[in-house]
Amino acid sequence: MLSKSLVFLKKNNLFRDIKNRDSSQGSRIIIGGKEYINFSSNDYLGLANHPALIRAAQQAMKKFGFGSGASRLLCGGSILHAELEEKIAKFKETESALVFNSGYAANTGIIPAIAEEGDAIFSDQLNHASIVDGCRLSRAKTYIYRHKDTANLENLIRKTKSRRKIVVTDSVFSMDGDIAPLKEIYDICLALNATRCTPDTLLYTDDAHATGVIGKGKGSLEHFGIKPEPWIIQMGTFSKALGSFGAFAAGSKDVIDWTVNIARSFIFSTALPPCIIAASIAALELIEKKPVLIKKLLANRDKTAKGLTKLGYDIMGSETPIIPVKTGSIESTLKASRYLLKKGIFAPAIRPPAVKEPRLRITVTAAHTDEDIEKLIKALGSL
């Protein structure tokens, strides 16, 4: 039935296929019996296969079994879920926190819950697809501001008459690896809230690639020294730097209570199994206990970014371990990715519609060795 559309994708080099690993996630992976140095995962701290996470999951399985059997509101959650939420609230210095089944579920659940009919959402042009979908599901009107352009944002906010205003942004952009100007965005929201008796401007940050990476692991607010005000909602994931699975929202008790009652992706979905929650708890403890992990990550990131820039590559404004490498057309990007594969390096070609400009998306982790990084730079040097 869709064969014509599929032919179109294939003709235009837009067809994607799934690559399945034969190994655990890590800096080395095996695909189809061949080993590659992996520059494609978001497992920034190399925790996805860490013994502490595996042990925590195994112990939780012994006590709680495997499946969770129901949604949180129907007793699908465990005391581990509550423990993780308490830990997150403490970590983020907020009154309250809530665990979600994934970052995708968090964004498509929370945004429609807090942005109702008559409200306005202001969303960065390069926000993650799950934010875009959250905005689409909301009955509020969405205004897209130019990427990181706070003058454009402020102008749109001032021109818009609405009850509640909600600014939504990735704090680290997932395909460009740059950081949102959160201090300026915070100041705009603060000024608006200061002129009214009740706060009606909210700031929603998506820390999926910031948690465990910037701000000594605590994420974007810590990175910019911003106070977690009650009108800020911090969303983050356990699935990237924390090597586990699932997501969270941290904010005021009112916002979290409202979310529990209204967010459909929270209410109508089965709770995460306790063993996954236990692994997330272990990962949070690890990043607090071992700051050396983040140091190593950032050192590896700098080494890679410097090496690629020196070769003359455009890394498109990257400031984080996500390093896009501009490679021109879709065809030349695919060619570059295939060339690296032949050299034993896995770095995916990212094409439209995921991004406007095709690129290789290199992600560096704390688990990469100097030799891994040198091999990548050498291979890209000979491209």
Ligand X SMILES: *Cc1c(COP(=O)(O)O)cnc(C)c1O
Please tell me whether the peptide bond between 274 and the residue prior to it is cis, using omega within 30 degrees of 0: no
Decide whether 238 or 346 has the Cβ nearer to ligand X: 238
Residue 103 binds to ligand X (criterion: CB under 6 A) = yes
Q: Which of 104, 143, 145, 231 binds ligand X (CB under 6 A)?
A: 104
Decide whether 154 or 170 has the Cβ nearer to ligand X: 170
Q: Which of 239, 280, 304, 363 binds ligand X (CB under 6 A)?
A: 239
Contact status, residue 191 vs residue 185, Cβ threshold 8 Å: no
Site for ligand X in 129-168 (CB under 6 A): 130
Contact status, residue 122 vs residue 131, Cβ threshold 8 Å: no
Query: Which of 82, 79, 115 shows the shortest CA–CA distance to 98?
Result: 82
Residue 247 binds to ligand X (criterion: CB under 6 A) = yes
CB of 130 vs ligand X, minimal distance in Å: 4
Residue 361 binds to ligand X (criterion: CB under 6 A) = no
Decide whether 27 or 239 has the Cβ nearer to ligand X: 239
**DSSP designation for 74:** G
Tokens of 96: 């309250």
Which region among 102-110, 315-323, 348-356, 363-371 touches ligand X (by CB under 6 A)? 102-110
Instruction: Show Cβ contacts of residue 299 under 8 Å, excluding neighbours closer than 6 positions.
Output: none
x/- binding map, residues 81-100, to ligand X, per CB under 6 A? --------------------
Positive or negative: CA dihedral 76, 279, 37, 209 = positive
Query: Which of 239, 243, 235, 202 shows the shortest CA–CA distance to 219?
Result: 235
Which region among 53-61, 67-75, 101-109, 305-313 touches ligand X (by CB under 6 A)? 101-109
Site for ligand X in 177-216 (CB under 6 A): 206, 208-209
How far is the C-alpha of 209 from the C-alpha of 237, rounded, in Å? 8
In the numeric block, the tokens 């695909």 are attached to 31
Residue 176 binds to ligand X (criterion: CB under 6 A) = no
Residue 72 binds to ligand X (criterion: CB under 6 A) = no
CA distances from 163 to 121, 167, 202 (A): 11, 13, 11
Query: Which of 111, 116, 115 shows the shortest CA–CA distance to 134?
Result: 111
CB of 204 vs ligand X, minimal distance in Å: 11
* Type of residue found at 253: K
CB of 269 vs ligand X, minimal distance in Å: 12
Other CB atoms within a 10 A radius of the CB of residue 204 amount to 26
Decide whether 119 or 207 has the Cβ nearer to ligand X: 207
Residue 128 binds to ligand X (criterion: CB under 6 A) = yes
The residues assigned a catalytic role are: 174, 209, 240
Interface contacts to ligand X, rule CB under 6 A: 102-104, 107, 128, 130, 170, 174, 206, 208-209, 237, 239, 247
